[in-house]
A = this chain, B = another copy of it.
């Protein structure tokens, strides 16, 4: 995680990641109407062009103050192949602008298939001896339901290619407890998952004390964040659920160490749709996102560094 942590430090200790989950509904009319009209019957192309314009302006307005972006793959897959082309362009643009790119794909499968997913996003694909990258994020999210043989291929590629992953431990949604909170001999499932995550990361602790195998821990469950910080002292946390989902800055702060490091907090709709609140004009959506990101940074820093 050193690459991510360095960017957090460079950006004035800003521990936030801007979620890029751009439903067409979020894109202002002055961008999407011309794109859709130009594309005619090719609805996917029109939508994908609109999303990319939207993302570009957001990235332009955020890249000097926010260390990372987190595109959510679902919101690109829903616009078909054109959506995935837009995802690719978005990741490349964010990288050009110096941002760390965390692709939220939540992939997970049996060992051989996990190798293929890992090749797609973290490692390289073999083309009859020639190797090339297919998608180019710095990091992806991974689902642990299949156990370690579905996780190890990702960890190996992280170590070989200087990349990172975040494994789902305790997710931010209301029903996350149905399986994750079930208790076995006093230990909830999310702690069982945490033990797997800790073990997989043990060999890759970097210069700030954190390793390449991070954990997703929802801001909406602060007690669990505290407990998981105790049992995973060297694990970096990706903390979704801030803002729109109800997570608060003081809850997120529970993940952080005395140096103000330890996690990265995601806001998606809060930043992307900031222009829909207050007196902003549609044309100012980038500026509104920037102001919201600055406010979020200050709110988090106040709690983290106290």
A150 contacts across to B, CB distance below 8 A: 173, 175
**Cα distance, A80 to B119, chains bound together (Å):** 10
Q: Is the CB of A175 within 8 A of B192?
A: no
Instruction: Please pick, from B125, B149, B189, the residue contacting A79 in the complex, using a CB distance under 8 A.
Output: B125
A192 contacts across to B, CB distance below 8 A: 178-179, 182
A179 contacts across to B, CB distance below 8 A: 144-145, 147, 189, 192-193
**Cα distance, A132 to B79, chains bound together (Å):** 9
Stretch touching chain B among A1-9, A110-118, A250-258: A110-118
A 65-100 contacts with B by CB, 8 A:
72, 74-75, 77-81, 83-85, 88
Q: Is the CB of B146 within 8 A of A74?
A: no
Copies of this protein in the assembly total 2
A116 contacts across to B, CB distance below 8 A: 21, 23, 72, 74-75, 77-78
**Cα distance, A109 to B138, chains bound together (Å):** 21
Q: Is the CB of A175 within 8 A of B189?
A: no
Chain B's nearest CB lies how many Å from the CB of A197?
A: 12
A294 at the A/B interface (Cβ < 8 Å)? no
Q: Is the CB of B149 within 8 A of A171?
A: no
Chain B's nearest CB lies how many Å from the CB of A232?
A: 16
- Given A85-B81, A128-B36 in contact, is the A106-B47 Cβ separation under 8 Å? no
A85 contacts across to B, CB distance below 8 A: 81
Q: CB-nearest residue of chain B relative to A245?
A: B110
A196 at the A/B interface (Cβ < 8 Å)? yes
A15 at the A/B interface (Cβ < 8 Å)? no
**Cα distance, A79 to B133, chains bound together (Å):** 9
Q: Is the CB of B172 within 8 A of A110?
A: yes
- Given A143-B143, A143-B145 in contact, is the A117-B47 Cβ separation under 8 Å? no
A80 contacts across to B, CB distance below 8 A: 88, 120, 125, 134-135
A196 contacts across to B, CB distance below 8 A: 178
Q: CB-nearest residue of chain B relative to A36?
A: B128
A247 at the A/B interface (Cβ < 8 Å)? no
Q: Is the CB of B149 within 8 A of A175?
A: yes
Would you mind naming 19 contact pairs between A and B with Cβ atoms under 8 Å apart?
A: A43-B130, A74-B114, A78-B116, A78-B125, A78-B134, A80-B88, A80-B125, A83-B134, A106-B107, A106-B108, A144-B145, A145-B179, A146-B168, A146-B176, A147-B173, A147-B175, A147-B179, A179-B192, A182-B189
